[in-house]
Amino acid sequence: LDYKLLVEQPSVERFTSHILGIIKPENVGLLTKFLRTLPPAFKIPVSVNSLYTMWLTRYFFSEGITGDKKWMQAWRQCASYFTKLAKEELVKLVAATCFS
């Protein structure tokens, strides 16, 4: 995580690009917890829920889904994160993954 980027208060695109570039299943919980606990002086340009949604969409499609069985497996992996999302973000994720 680029600490300087947090201090600079970057644009939405720059921040999102950086976060999505470093976030992985192994560190997603720790990273989002860190972002949620930042002091108010560090204004992140995107909500943590939105970051989860963008990451889950990217993660879902990164699995190389080639059939129904693979699709269901990828969906189950993503479903473990659904409790982290706001209702609106969950609807966005479903729309992006099921209706794309």
Q: pLDDT tens digits, residue range 66-85?
A: 777 877 888 888 888 888 88
Task: Write out pLDDT tens, residues 39-58.
Answer: 888 888 999 999 989 999 88
| Interatomic CA distance for residues 38 and 29, integer angstroms | 15
Burial class (CB in 10 A: 0-12, 13-18, 19+), 77: middle
87: left (phi over 0), alpha (psi -120 to 50) or beta: alpha
| Interatomic CA distance for residues 9 and 72, integer angstroms | 38
Number of other residues whose CB lies within 10 A of the CB of residue 96? 16
